Amino acid sequence: MSGHSKWSTIKRQKGTNDQKRGQVFTKLSYTITTSVREGGGVTDPNSNFRLRLAIEEARAANMPKDNIKRAIDRASGRQEGDIEEIFYEGFGPGGVSVIVEALTDKKQRTTAEVKNAFEKNGGSLGVSGSVMYQFEKKGLIVVLKNGKSLDEIFLIAADCFAEDIEEVDNEIIIYTKSEDLAKARLALQEKGLSIKEAHLFWKPNIVNTISDKEQAEKVIKFVDKLEELDDVNKVYTNFDIQDNIMEDLLNE
Protein backbone atom coordinates (compact mmCIF):
# COMPACT_ATOMS: atom_id res chain seq x y z
CA MET A 1 0.00 0.00 0.00
CA SER A 2 1.09 3.58 -0.31
CA GLY A 3 2.97 5.06 2.61
CA HIS A 4 0.12 7.43 3.33
CA SER A 5 -2.31 4.54 3.73
CA LYS A 6 0.07 2.75 6.04
CA TRP A 7 0.74 5.93 8.00
CA SER A 8 -3.00 6.60 8.39
CA THR A 9 -3.67 3.04 9.52
CA ILE A 10 -0.94 3.11 12.16
CA LYS A 11 -2.02 6.58 13.35
CA ARG A 12 -5.56 5.31 13.81
CA GLN A 13 -4.35 2.23 15.73
CA LYS A 14 -2.31 4.43 18.05
CA GLY A 15 -5.14 6.91 18.50
CA THR A 16 -3.11 9.80 17.17
CA ASN A 17 -5.76 11.19 14.81
CA ASP A 18 -6.57 14.56 16.37
CA GLN A 19 -9.49 15.59 14.19
CA LYS A 20 -12.21 17.27 16.19
CA ARG A 21 -15.24 15.12 16.85
CA GLY A 22 -17.64 17.66 15.31
CA GLN A 23 -15.54 17.86 12.17
CA VAL A 24 -15.55 14.07 11.84
CA PHE A 25 -19.34 13.94 12.20
CA THR A 26 -19.79 16.67 9.59
CA LYS A 27 -17.69 14.75 7.07
CA LEU A 28 -19.49 11.50 7.82
CA SER A 29 -22.84 13.24 7.45
CA TYR A 30 -21.85 14.55 4.03
CA THR A 31 -20.66 11.08 3.02
CA ILE A 32 -24.00 9.54 4.00
CA THR A 33 -25.96 12.22 2.14
CA THR A 34 -23.84 11.83 -0.98
CA SER A 35 -24.14 8.04 -0.81
CA VAL A 36 -27.92 8.32 -0.99
CA ARG A 37 -27.73 10.69 -3.95
CA GLU A 38 -25.13 8.61 -5.81
CA GLY A 39 -27.21 5.51 -5.07
CA GLY A 40 -30.19 6.86 -6.97
CA GLY A 41 -31.96 8.14 -3.87
CA VAL A 42 -32.10 4.67 -2.28
CA THR A 43 -32.21 5.11 1.51
CA ASP A 44 -32.22 1.41 2.41
CA PRO A 45 -28.62 0.42 3.26
CA ASN A 46 -29.41 -3.18 2.31
CA SER A 47 -30.03 -2.02 -1.25
CA ASN A 48 -27.36 0.71 -1.36
CA PHE A 49 -23.94 -0.70 -0.60
CA ARG A 50 -22.18 2.65 -0.59
CA LEU A 51 -24.70 3.94 1.97
CA ARG A 52 -24.21 0.83 4.10
CA LEU A 53 -20.45 1.42 4.17
CA ALA A 54 -20.98 5.08 5.10
CA ILE A 55 -23.35 4.17 7.95
CA GLU A 56 -20.96 1.54 9.29
CA GLU A 57 -18.12 4.07 9.23
CA ALA A 58 -20.32 6.53 11.11
CA ARG A 59 -21.25 3.95 13.74
CA ALA A 60 -17.58 3.03 14.18
CA ALA A 61 -16.93 6.71 14.99
CA ASN A 62 -19.79 6.62 17.55
CA MET A 63 -21.88 9.04 15.54
CA PRO A 64 -25.37 9.31 17.15
CA LYS A 65 -28.26 7.54 15.39
CA ASP A 66 -30.15 10.83 15.10
CA ASN A 67 -27.25 12.37 13.17
CA ILE A 68 -27.22 9.42 10.77
CA LYS A 69 -30.99 9.65 10.27
CA ARG A 70 -30.82 13.40 9.60
CA ALA A 71 -28.10 12.87 7.00
CA ILE A 72 -30.26 10.31 5.19
CA ASP A 73 -33.39 12.47 5.47
CA ARG A 74 -31.45 15.44 4.16
CA ALA A 75 -30.70 13.60 0.93
CA SER A 76 -34.05 11.88 0.49
CA GLY A 77 -35.87 15.14 1.20
CA ARG A 78 -33.74 16.98 -1.37
CA GLN A 79 -32.55 19.42 1.25
CA GLU A 80 -28.88 18.67 0.80
CA GLY A 81 -28.04 22.10 -0.61
CA ASP A 82 -26.52 20.62 -3.76
CA ILE A 83 -23.79 18.73 -1.91
CA GLU A 84 -21.44 17.35 -4.53
CA GLU A 85 -18.37 15.17 -4.68
CA ILE A 86 -15.33 16.89 -6.18
CA PHE A 87 -11.86 15.53 -6.89
CA TYR A 88 -8.76 17.72 -6.93
CA GLU A 89 -5.39 16.60 -8.27
CA GLY A 90 -1.96 17.99 -7.62
CA PHE A 91 1.54 17.54 -6.26
CA GLY A 92 2.92 17.71 -2.73
CA PRO A 93 6.46 18.34 -1.44
CA GLY A 94 9.02 16.32 -3.36
CA GLY A 95 6.61 15.87 -6.24
CA VAL A 96 4.37 13.25 -4.59
CA SER A 97 1.08 12.82 -6.43
CA VAL A 98 -2.12 13.69 -4.58
CA ILE A 99 -5.84 13.15 -5.09
CA VAL A 100 -8.19 15.08 -2.79
CA GLU A 101 -11.77 13.88 -2.44
CA ALA A 102 -14.07 16.65 -1.20
CA LEU A 103 -17.78 16.83 -0.37
CA THR A 104 -19.15 20.34 -0.45
CA ASP A 105 -22.18 22.56 -0.91
CA LYS A 106 -19.99 25.50 -2.01
CA LYS A 107 -17.48 24.51 -4.68
CA GLN A 108 -15.87 27.95 -4.92
CA ARG A 109 -15.08 28.02 -1.18
CA THR A 110 -13.71 24.49 -1.19
CA THR A 111 -11.54 25.08 -4.25
CA ALA A 112 -10.02 28.18 -2.66
CA GLU A 113 -9.30 26.33 0.62
CA VAL A 114 -7.74 23.33 -1.12
CA LYS A 115 -5.61 25.56 -3.37
CA ASN A 116 -4.45 27.57 -0.36
CA ALA A 117 -3.49 24.39 1.53
CA PHE A 118 -1.43 23.20 -1.44
CA GLU A 119 0.38 26.49 -1.93
CA LYS A 120 1.12 27.16 1.76
CA ASN A 121 2.53 23.69 2.41
CA GLY A 122 4.92 23.14 -0.47
CA GLY A 123 2.53 21.73 -3.04
CA SER A 124 0.85 22.82 -6.24
CA LEU A 125 -2.70 22.21 -7.41
CA GLY A 126 -2.86 20.57 -10.83
CA VAL A 127 -5.49 20.27 -13.53
CA SER A 128 -7.95 17.42 -13.95
CA GLY A 129 -6.11 14.32 -15.17
CA SER A 130 -2.67 15.48 -14.06
CA VAL A 131 -2.18 12.62 -11.57
CA MET A 132 -5.34 10.47 -11.71
CA TYR A 133 -3.72 8.20 -14.32
CA GLN A 134 -1.19 7.14 -11.65
CA PHE A 135 -3.94 5.61 -9.50
CA GLU A 136 -6.47 2.83 -9.85
CA LYS A 137 -9.77 2.57 -8.01
CA LYS A 138 -9.79 -0.48 -5.73
CA GLY A 139 -11.76 -1.92 -2.86
CA LEU A 140 -9.96 -1.85 0.50
CA ILE A 141 -11.00 -4.05 3.42
CA VAL A 142 -9.34 -3.99 6.84
CA VAL A 143 -9.70 -7.19 8.89
CA LEU A 144 -8.47 -7.97 12.39
CA LYS A 145 -6.08 -10.90 12.78
CA ASN A 146 -7.75 -12.20 15.94
CA GLY A 147 -5.08 -14.86 16.38
CA LYS A 148 -4.81 -15.83 12.72
CA SER A 149 -1.52 -15.60 10.85
CA LEU A 150 -0.92 -13.65 7.65
CA ASP A 151 -0.73 -16.93 5.71
CA GLU A 152 -4.04 -18.16 7.13
CA ILE A 153 -5.83 -14.96 6.19
CA PHE A 154 -4.14 -14.96 2.78
CA LEU A 155 -5.61 -18.38 1.99
CA ILE A 156 -9.07 -17.22 3.07
CA ALA A 157 -8.82 -13.95 1.16
CA ALA A 158 -7.65 -15.73 -2.00
CA ASP A 159 -11.04 -17.45 -2.14
CA CYS A 160 -12.89 -14.19 -1.45
CA PHE A 161 -12.03 -12.06 -4.50
CA ALA A 162 -8.81 -10.61 -3.00
CA GLU A 163 -6.16 -9.30 -5.40
CA ASP A 164 -3.50 -8.53 -2.80
CA ILE A 165 -3.04 -8.30 0.97
CA GLU A 166 -0.68 -6.48 3.34
CA GLU A 167 0.03 -6.76 7.06
CA VAL A 168 0.01 -3.72 9.35
CA ASP A 169 0.53 -4.71 12.98
CA ASN A 170 -2.64 -6.52 14.14
CA GLU A 171 -4.59 -5.82 10.98
CA ILE A 172 -4.59 -7.16 7.45
CA ILE A 173 -5.36 -4.92 4.50
CA ILE A 174 -7.12 -6.72 1.65
CA TYR A 175 -7.38 -5.20 -1.83
CA THR A 176 -10.08 -6.14 -4.33
CA LYS A 177 -11.33 -4.89 -7.65
CA SER A 178 -13.66 -1.95 -7.02
CA GLU A 179 -16.64 -3.86 -8.39
CA ASP A 180 -15.85 -6.84 -6.10
CA LEU A 181 -15.80 -4.89 -2.82
CA ALA A 182 -19.36 -5.73 -1.72
CA LYS A 183 -19.18 -9.47 -2.44
CA ALA A 184 -15.63 -9.75 -1.06
CA ARG A 185 -16.71 -8.14 2.18
CA LEU A 186 -19.67 -10.51 2.51
CA ALA A 187 -17.54 -13.55 1.65
CA LEU A 188 -14.90 -12.63 4.24
CA GLN A 189 -17.59 -12.20 6.90
CA GLU A 190 -19.05 -15.60 6.03
CA LYS A 191 -15.56 -17.08 6.50
CA GLY A 192 -15.56 -15.72 10.05
CA LEU A 193 -13.16 -12.79 9.65
CA SER A 194 -13.75 -9.65 11.69
CA ILE A 195 -14.00 -6.65 9.36
CA LYS A 196 -13.00 -3.28 10.78
CA GLU A 197 -13.69 -1.16 7.73
CA ALA A 198 -14.35 -1.41 4.00
CA HIS A 199 -14.36 1.31 1.39
CA LEU A 200 -13.30 2.28 -2.11
CA PHE A 201 -9.73 3.51 -2.38
CA TRP A 202 -7.49 5.10 -5.00
CA LYS A 203 -4.40 2.89 -5.02
CA PRO A 204 -1.24 4.25 -6.67
CA ASN A 205 0.38 2.21 -9.41
CA ILE A 206 3.38 4.57 -9.50
CA VAL A 207 5.06 4.92 -6.07
CA ASN A 208 7.27 7.79 -4.91
CA THR A 209 9.66 6.43 -2.27
CA ILE A 210 10.83 8.84 0.44
CA SER A 211 14.16 8.01 2.08
CA ASP A 212 14.80 11.33 3.83
CA LYS A 213 13.25 12.04 7.24
CA GLU A 214 12.94 15.80 6.72
CA GLN A 215 11.18 15.24 3.40
CA ALA A 216 8.87 12.69 5.01
CA GLU A 217 7.91 15.20 7.71
CA LYS A 218 7.07 17.80 5.07
CA VAL A 219 4.87 15.39 3.13
CA ILE A 220 3.01 14.20 6.24
CA LYS A 221 2.42 17.79 7.40
CA PHE A 222 1.13 18.64 3.92
CA VAL A 223 -1.36 15.74 3.93
CA ASP A 224 -2.46 16.56 7.50
CA LYS A 225 -3.24 20.15 6.49
CA LEU A 226 -5.41 18.92 3.63
CA GLU A 227 -7.24 16.42 5.85
CA GLU A 228 -7.97 19.15 8.40
CA LEU A 229 -10.12 21.04 5.89
CA ASP A 230 -13.83 20.66 6.71
CA ASP A 231 -14.84 19.83 3.14
CA VAL A 232 -12.07 17.31 2.48
CA ASN A 233 -13.29 13.75 2.93
CA LYS A 234 -10.22 11.72 1.98
CA VAL A 235 -6.71 12.29 0.65
CA TYR A 236 -4.86 9.74 -1.48
CA THR A 237 -1.16 9.97 -2.28
CA ASN A 238 1.55 7.81 -3.82
CA PHE A 239 4.34 8.33 -1.29
CA ASP A 240 6.00 5.41 0.44
CA ILE A 241 8.18 6.17 3.45
CA GLN A 242 11.00 3.77 4.22
CA ASP A 243 10.17 1.61 7.26
CA ASN A 244 13.02 2.85 9.46
CA ILE A 245 12.05 6.48 8.89
CA MET A 246 8.36 5.79 9.49
CA GLU A 247 9.25 4.03 12.74
CA ASP A 248 11.26 7.07 13.87
CA LEU A 249 8.37 9.43 13.08
CA LEU A 250 5.84 7.29 14.94
CA ASN A 251 8.05 7.10 18.02
CA GLU A 252 8.57 10.85 18.30
Report which residue type is found at 10: I
Among the residue ranges 18-27, 31-40, 48-57, 80-89, the one predicted with the least confidence is 18-27
- Name all domains of the chain by residue range, CATH numbers in brackets: 17-76 (1.10.10.200), 86-133+206-237 (3.30.70.980), 135-204 (3.30.70.980)
Q: With DSSP H G I counted as helix, E B as strand and the rest as coil, what are the percentages for the chain, rounded to 5?
A: 45, 25, 25
Among 142, 138, 137, which Cα is nearest to 188's? Answer: 142
What confidence tens digit (pLDDT) does each residue in 166-194 have?
888 888 999 999 999 989 999 999 999 99
* Whether pLDDT at 106 is above 50: yes
Among 52, 11, 15, 7, which Cα is nearest to 31's? Answer: 52
pTM for the complete prediction? 0.79
Which residues have CB under 8 Å from 247's CB, separation 6+?
A: none
User: How much is the pLDDT for 80?
Assistant: 46
Among 27, 32, 31, which Cα is nearest to 17's? Answer: 27
Band (10; pLDDT cuts 50, 70, 90): low
End-to-end Cα spacing for the chain: 23
Band (79; pLDDT cuts 50, 70, 90): low
Residue 193 CA neighbour count, 13 Å, CB half: 31
Band (77; pLDDT cuts 50, 70, 90): low
CA distances from 161 to 101, 130, 183, 247 (A): 26, 31, 8, 32
